[in-house]
Amino acid sequence: MYQSIKQLGYHSFVYGLGNMLSKLLGFFLLPIYTRYLTPADYGILALLTLTQSILVILANLGLSSALFREVIYKKTDEKKAESTALYTLLIISLFMLAIGYIFAPLLSRAIFNDVAQTPLLRLVFLNVVFNNILIVFNARLRIREQSLFYSIFSVSSFLVGAGLNIYFVAIARRGVEGLILAQVLLAALQAFVCLLMLRDLIKPDFSKPVLRSLLNFGLPLVPGAIAALILVSADRYILNKFSTTTMVGLYSLGYSIGMVINLIVQAVQLAWPAQLFEIAKFPDAKQRLSMTLTYYCLALGFISLAVSVLAREILVIMTTPEYYGAYIIMPLITLSYVFYGIRFMTTIGMYIKNKVKYSSFVIIGAAIFNLVLSFLLIPRFGMIGAAWATFVSYFLLAVVNIMVDSRFMQIPYEYWRLTKIMAIWLLMFGLSLLISTPSTWINLILKTIWLMSYPLLLFIVRFYNHQEIQFIKDFLTHKVLRANSHS
């Protein structure tokens, strides 16, 4: 049973190493961004990035997820499935580029109330074309579980991206335009490398039956993916309508740091599809899946707690005073992504039974709820209202998703142990608020020490079962013996 969890952990770590570095690019460059970009500039960048994410989902057609089921579960010829997906995605994205070039001024006016961002929106549409090439390449690596190569590619992209961002922002002083240009140049380089690696697919091996099968699984995912993005992005657009891009910038900065937990979620998402269909073949699959969720929440809970407890210190160290106010939303955002991760890990029966349309229904319902709540809370409470709307929506998303998924597969989740994790989270965060000295660095040290009591408090509330306690004892005993043998 533990072997499946170890394998998932290994691939998640290796995928996450590269993916985390690439996603953390913005975080590592915060000291530069916050010194060369105003909060208003940061708000414009956030809206452009979110718009690109929506376009990528529309152009993807759900084929990135469909490829896994087609190759691993249905045993379709890998090259035929990948070639069919590649040419379909290229045609779709080029069509969107043409449409986007024409209607970019209207889109700019709708989002920013003027046409000033039209050139940047056209670059965003160009980025979608490059992204669709990356989709097939990344899917191939994940299907073959070539996680190490995936991470090498991601780390290389991170280094090139960091260089481009620093040049365009700090040296060329191109501001938001420079950051978008850096994204396009990086994506173009990635796409070129991917096409070289996918050269065996350049000669079309197109199959209409395979395309129908891919779309049959992938298209029902698109509404859900759009709805999921609404959960992430709608608050930014609504904030922009009821306040200013400066407020959007502050909220986006706090959101981007708060959702650092999503980097872990994404790392697991990259490894999980291949692992899920393998685990489903075991006789004790339900027990394996239940235990996986418990350990997943244990790890996510700690990382979420660390970000929440250290929120203010992170901003003081990484940014400038005009951005400090963003810390207040970070605990709610990081908790929101814990529940988002739970939702993803509990969409099991729907995937195995090919009932993904129900997953889309759940997300669409949560997105509608989020929109209503955002329109109610944001005009009155600003970015605090947006953060609460996000948290409540993601919490309900996880709860309803588990209820719906149980119709297709009953998983005996360890709800009592999960409740203990949440209780310790709330206790530790609440008590951390009492740690307050004039020195940011002393606060950082004291709070870090307090965070180290997380496993001890879980032991006090009897979270660990007998097997886990024995494993910990054996592990510590082995460490002591090894230390003594070297002394």
What's the predicted TM-score (pTM) here?
0.70
Q: How many helices (H) and strands (E) does the chain have?
A: 23, 0
Class of residue 441 by CB neighbours under 10 A (exposed 0-12, middle 13-18, buried 19+): exposed
DSSP codes joined into one string, 164-217: HHHIIIIIS--HHHHHHHHHHHHHHHHHHHHHHHTGGGSS----HHHHHHHHHH
pLDDT at 449: 94
Distances in Å between the alpha carbon of 438 and those of 209, 432, 441? 67, 15, 9
CB neighbourhood size of 241 (10 A): 13
pLDDT at 134: 80
DSSP codes joined into one string, 119-173: HHHHHHHHHHHHHHHHHHHHHHHHHTT-HHHHHHHHHHHHHHHHHHHHIIIIIS-
**Single-letter amino acid code for the residue at 306:** A
Rounded-to-integer distance, Cα 207 and Cα 199, Å:
18
Q: By the 8 A CB rule, do 130 and 188 touch?
A: yes
The torsion angle over the Cα atoms of residues 298, 265, 6 and 62, rounded to 10 degrees, is 140
Q: By the 8 A CB rule, do 347 and 359 touch?
A: yes
Q: By the 8 A CB rule, do 415 and 342 touch?
A: no
Q: In sequence order, which residues have a C-beta less than 8 Å from that of residue 409 and are 6 or more positions away?
A: 286, 348, 349, 352, 353
Place of tokens 């199959």: 207
**Single-letter amino acid code for the residue at 216:** N
Q: Which long-range contacts (CB under 8 A, 24 or more apart) does 137-144 make?
A: 137/194, 137/197, 137/198, 138/64, 139/64, 139/67, 139/68, 139/82, 139/85, 140/78, 140/82, 140/198, 142/15, 142/68, 142/270, 142/271, 142/273, 142/274, 143/67, 143/68, 143/71, 143/72, 143/78, 143/274
CB neighbourhood size of 266 (10 A): 18
Query: Measured at the alpha carbon of residue 268, what is the angle toward residues 304 and 27, in degrees to the nearest 5?
Result: 50
Enumerate residue ranges in the chain where pLDDT < 70. Answer: 1-28, 68-69, 72-74, 78, 142-143, 145-148, 201-204, 267, 269-284, 354, 356, 475-476, 478-487
Nearest alpha carbon to residue 98 among 125, 61, 133, 58: 125
pLDDT at 133: 81
Q: In sequence order, which residues have a C-beta less than 8 Å from that of residue 312 and are 6 or more positions away?
A: 324, 327, 443
- Domain residue ranges in the chain: 2-413
Q: By the 8 A CB rule, do 362 and 220 touch?
A: no
Rounded-to-integer distance, Cα 134 and Cα 159, Å:
17
pLDDT at 445: 93
Q: What is the largest CA-CA distance in the chain?
A: 72
Q: By the 8 A CB rule, do 43 and 252 touch?
A: yes
pLDDT at 441: 92
Q: By the 8 A CB rule, do 62 and 191 touch?
A: no
pLDDT at 479: 53
